[in-house]
Structure 1
Amino acid sequence: MVDTPPRTGSPTIHDADLIIIGGGPAGCAAARMSASVGMRSILIEPDTLCRNLYRIPALSNVLGGYTSGPELADSIVAELKSTKLCRLELGRHVTELHAYKDHVTATVDTSARLTARYAIVATGVGPLQPRDVSWITAPDGLTLPPLWQAEADDAEGRDLLVLGGDRPIGTFLRAHPDTDTRLLVAYPAADTYKIEEIREDSRVSLLPVEHLTLSCEEGFPVSAEVLGRNGEQQTVTADAAYLSIGNAPTAPSGDLVRGADGYCPPTDQHPRVIVAGDLRSARFQRIMTALGSGSEAALHAYYATRELLTKG
C-alpha cells in the first residue's frame, strides 16, 4: 500500500468527503447513510444503480414488504436520486484506487482523478463460467447463462442441467412456483451447505459430483459425463444447461488487499479504504447484509472523520 502522497503533494480540498465505488445495494446504502450525517459523496457505477436487483424476480429475505428485486430496486434508486449530497457518476468505472495517509484517490476511465477523505469499495462480484472452476471440463470458449436468466416460458416442461448449487436456484424456484421445469443440480462438495433450501423441492434432483465433463453448444441441448463422489460414472442429458456456480469478486486495481480467494477482507485494508457488500466474503452475500454493511461503512467514515477533526 502507498503511504506517501503523490508527487504533486497531498490535496487539501477534496472532491467529496467520501468516494463510493459501486452502485449496488451496499453502495447505495452507503451514499444514503453518508448524506444523512451530512457527508458529501461521489458514487461511481459503470452500469445502472442496483442493476442486479432488477434481475431477481422474487425476494423472501428482506424487510419492508418487498417481494421482488425490481420493486426494491426502484425504491432504493428513487430515494438515492433525491439525495442532494450524493453526486452520481453513472456509466463510469474506477480503474485505480490509491490510499495515502490523509486521503484517497480514485482514477476513473476518463483519466480524471477524484480525491476524498475515505473510499468505500462495494463493487461486488461477477458470474463465474465453467472454465473458472476445477470440477468442470467444458469446450473451449463455452459460455453458459446463469439460471436467473432462464425465462419461465422457455423453461416450461423442460429438463435443465444446473451446474453448481448456489442460492439463485432457490430464487428461481420461488419465482416460478407453478412451473413444471425439472432441475438436475450437479454440485461439488463445497456447495453442500447451499442446497439445503432446495433439497425437498420435488422439481429438483440432486447430483453430487466429483467431476463433470460437459458436451454442448451454447447450452442447447446438453450431455455430460459425471464422475460421482462415490466413484461411479454416468451420462446425464438435459434440454439446456445453466450456471449456478457462484461469482468472483470484482475490484479496481491499486491499494485493495485481496485474500487468496480474491475477496477483500475489511480488516486487512488501508485505514482510508472501507470494503462493503459482497466484496467482503462469499459467505454473506445477501441483500440485507449488503444494505447493512454499506450503511455501517458510511458511519465508520463519518466517525473516523469526526475523530480526526476533533484531534486537529
Structure 2
Amino acid sequence: MADIPFATDLIIIGGGPAGCAAARMSASVGMRSILIEPDQLCRNLYRIPALNNVLGGYTDGPQLADAIVAELKSTELCRLELGRRVTELRADEAHVTVTVGTGARFTAPYAVVATGVGPLQPHDVTWITAPSGLALTPLWEAEADNAEGRTLLVLGGDRPIGTFLRAHPTTETRLLVAYPAADAYKVEEVREDPRVVLFPVEHLTLAPTEGTSVSAETVGQDGSRQTITADAAHLSIGSAPTAPSGDLTRGLDGYCPPTGQHPRVIVAGDLRSSRFQRIMTALGSGSEAALHAYYAARDVLNEPAPS
C-alpha cells in the first residue's frame, strides 16, 4: 500500500455540509486540505425537499447544495477525492493517516471527521419486528407523485415527517405514523396536520404481504391491539453514526463526541451527537473544526483568536 504524497495541512473525511464548511474555512486561513467523500458532495442535502432553518433564503436542499458545491469546487486550496471510502483512521503524536478502500493512504497533521449518519432500519430498533433483511427508504426521500392519493405507513415520529409535509403542502396523502413513547415530543409539529393519523405504540410487527401493500400489527401504549394497512411503508425512526474504524472514541450510542478524541482528530457535524442534527449546526461545527486545526497547528488553542 503506497502513501499518496500531498503537501496538505488537513484531511477532511466526509463531503456533507460540515465537511464542505471545514474545507472552505481551512482555505480561508491558508490551510491546504484534502476532502475525501465516497459519493457526491452534499449527497443527502440534495434529497431534502424543504428547508426552514437555514440562512440565505434557501427553501430546499438542492438550492443550498448547489451553492455549497459550486463554492467548494472553486476553492483552490482544497483537493477533492470523490468516490473514495475511508476504511481506517489512525493517529499518533505527529500526524493522522487515513486509508481508503483501494489501500491508498493520506497523511496530514490533523483530520476532521464529518461522515455524518445513515438511516436506521427496522431491525435496528427494539420496538419493531420485521421480516429478515427488510430495508425501507426514509420518508423524506419519498416522491410526491408516489404519495399522491396513497396511504403511507411511517415507522417512527422523527422530524423529517414535518419536512415531507412542508415540501408537499398540496399532496393528497394519508400518513399513518406509528411511533414509540420516546418520539412523543417529536410528533407535536405534525399533530394538527389533517393528513396525519398518529398511532402511539409499544410494539409493531410488520407482516409479510402480497404485492406492494403493507400490513402491521400494533400493540398500543395502553395495551390495545390493532391492524394497520397501507399502500407502502417508509422510515422516520432516526439515524445511526457512520464513522470509519480506527482511532475514534465512540460513546455507548455509537456517536463520536468531540471531547475525548485524539488531539489530532476533530469531529464535526451530525457525527457528534443526535441532539443537534441540523444543517446550520453542521455548517458551524465544520467551520469551527477547521479553525481548531488551524490554531492547534500554531499552538495557540488556549489563546484568544486573532481579530
Q: Which residue of 2 aligns with 1:154?
A: 146
Equivalent position to 2:55, from 63, 71, 93? 63
Equivalent position to 2:216, from 224, 242, 262? 224
d(CA) in 1 for partners of 2:101, 2:210:
32
Q: Which moved more, 1:213-222 or 1:91-100?
A: 213-222
Q: Which residue of 1 aligns with 2:166?
A: 174
Deviation sequence 1:126-180 (CA, Å, 0-9, x none): 1111111110001111121211222111111111110001111111000000011
Contact 1:94 1:107 in 2 (8 A): yes
Contact 2:201 2:218 in 1 (8 A): yes
d(CA) in 1 for partners of 2:165, 2:244:
34
Instruction: Please state how far the C-alpha of 1:218 moved relative to its aligned partner.
Output: 9.2
Contact 1:18 1:116 in 2 (8 A): yes
d(CA) in 2 for partners of 1:111, 1:211:
44
Change (3 A) 1:43 1:225: same
Describe the SS at the equivalent of 2:184: helix
The one-letter code of the counterpart of 1:186 is: A
Describe the SS at the equivalent of 2:175: strand
Moved over 6 A (4+): none
Q: Which residue of 2 aligns with 1:143?
A: 135
Q: Check if 1:267 corresponds to 2:259.
A: yes
Change (3 A) 1:304 1:170: same
Instruction: Please state how far the C-alpha of 1:14 moved relative to its aligned partner.
Output: 6.5
Q: Check if 1:292 corresponds to 2:284.
A: yes
Q: Which moved more, 1:188-197 or 1:35-44?
A: 188-197
Equivalent position to 2:33, from 38, 41, 60? 41
RMSD, aligned α-carbons: 1.9
Q: TM-score, normalised by structure 2?
A: 0.94
Q: Which residue of 2 aligns with 1:197?
A: 189
d(CA) in 2 for partners of 1:217, 1:141:
15
Change (3 A) 1:197 1:218: farther
Identity %: 80
The unaligned stretches of length 5 or more in structure 2 are 302-307
Equivalent position to 1:188, from 172, 177, 180? 180
Q: TM-score, normalised by structure 1?
A: 0.93
d(CA) in 2 for partners of 1:219, 1:42:
47
Question: How many aligned residue pairs are there?
Answer: 300
